[in-house]
Amino acid sequence: MATPSNQPLARGYQLQNYTIAKLLSAGGFSIVYLAHDEHDYPVAIKEYLPNSLALRKEGVAVQAVSEEHIALFRHGLKCFFEEGKTLARIQHPNIVRVLNFFRANDTVYMVMEYERGRTLQKEIQINHEREGVDEKLIRSVFFNLLNGLREVHLNKLLHLDIKPANIYIRKDGSPVLLDFGSARQSLTAEQSRLTPMYTPGFAAPEQYRKKEQLGPWTDIYGVGASMFACIAGTAPQAADSREKDDKVQRLEQAYGDRYSPELLALIHQCLEIDHEKRPQSVLQIQKLLLEPGSVPRKKGSLIHMIKRKWTELIRPKRGDQS
């Protein structure tokens, strides 16, 4: 976890009826805490605190870094608050549940259900050493996750930060989508000189440009990039770099003996640079995920094994992953 530029709230701090237990994560846009309510029920609390616009050096109040940043900070705060209101209306087992949202300390807090399990990113790290995440698990996780994402899109909201680190696998195996990035994207669109608030490799090409091009297909790119990471163990080449020189390797070249051609083709369809060539709705992806894949090409020859190992060894040198 990166060292936060902002001073987090102290352990034991009383935030309305919640007591801060510890810091969970800190990024350029927000800080997330583990806290307990008055009944000792655990919750996750996200605090709106973009490093480029506001700082908390001491005490608890948040202040804009300069006069010129006040308006932009307030715009982001409004977007964050509105996002919390929208998410609070969505009650779906595959979407993180927002329990409460309120203003305090001159900023906004979003109180969410605290989930137990591990991220898909952790699952990838564990399974990549065993030749990648199992295809059945990929199909199951993303089919169920897309049920939740469909509900989000029906509420006229986009996630805009779909990646393995934001997909949580509960202990019962069910996935839940965390950490929406819509408010972050609104800030980036408003002020181009801000540090980009998307994740290279998982962000679609249109996230680097004007927000008028954003749509469900933008989240679909993130879904494709996340499935790509399940297989390759790393994110695909960043979209802005791909537009200049696309070096994303065709998955069937290195993994065609482990995964069905239908799944690999679907992933590359989701990763199309032109958003009009991607699936336009999550229902389209779900239908393809439900269809049984063909048996992977079995190539057990010594020559194939050598070629595959060689490809894996040189991949980091050939593809720009930045």
Residue 27: give its domain's CATH number: 3.30.200.20
Amino acid at 211: K
pLDDT at position 320 is 46
* Confidence bin at 97 (pLDDT 50/70/90): very high
Q: Domain for residue 2, yes or no?
A: no
Q: Domain for residue 6, yes or no?
A: no
Residue located via tokens 């202040």? 63
Q: Domain for residue 188, yes or no?
A: yes
Q: Domain for residue 284, yes or no?
A: yes
Asked if residue 93 has pLDDT above 70, the reply is: yes
Whether residues 158 and 280 fall in one domain: yes
Q: Domain for residue 252, yes or no?
A: yes
- Nearest 5°: CA angle at 97, between 95 and 101? 135
* Confidence bin at 256 (pLDDT 50/70/90): very high
Whether residues 160 and 70 fall in one domain: no
State the Cα torsion 114-115-116-121 to the nearest 10°: -120
Whether residues 128 and 77 fall in one domain: no
Whether residues 166 and 300 fall in one domain: yes
pLDDT at position 138 is 96
Asked if residue 208 has pLDDT above 70, the reply is: yes
Whether residues 214 and 270 fall in one domain: yes
Mean local confidence (pLDDT), 117-122: 94
The count of domains in the chain is: 2
Predicted model pTM: 0.82
pLDDT at position 63 is 77
Domain end (from 90, 113, 136): 113
Comparing 158 with 66, which gets the higher pLDDT? 158
pLDDT at position 2 is 43
Whether residues 144 and 260 fall in one domain: yes
Domain end (from 113, 148, 176): 113
Whether residues 175 and 252 fall in one domain: yes
Token digits of residue 286: 């779900």
CATH for 308: 1.10.510.10
Provide the residue range defining the domain that includes 197. Answer: 117-318
Whether residues 44 and 180 fall in one domain: no
Whether residues 165 and 305 fall in one domain: yes
Average pLDDT value for the chain: 85
Q: Rounded to whole angstroms, what are the CA distances from 250 to 75, 254, 276, 301, 322?
A: 41, 8, 20, 21, 18
Domain end (from 113, 138, 170): 113
pLDDT at position 212 is 77
Q: What percent of the chain has pLDDT over 90?
A: 55
Q: Domain for residue 5, yes or no?
A: no
Q: Domain for residue 9, yes or no?
A: no
Q: Domain for residue 152, yes or no?
A: yes
Whether residues 86 and 143 fall in one domain: no
pLDDT in tens, 47-61: 998 887 887 877 788
Whether residues 47 and 135 fall in one domain: no
Whether residues 169 and 286 fall in one domain: yes
Sign of the dihedral through C-alpha 55, 58, 63, 68:
negative
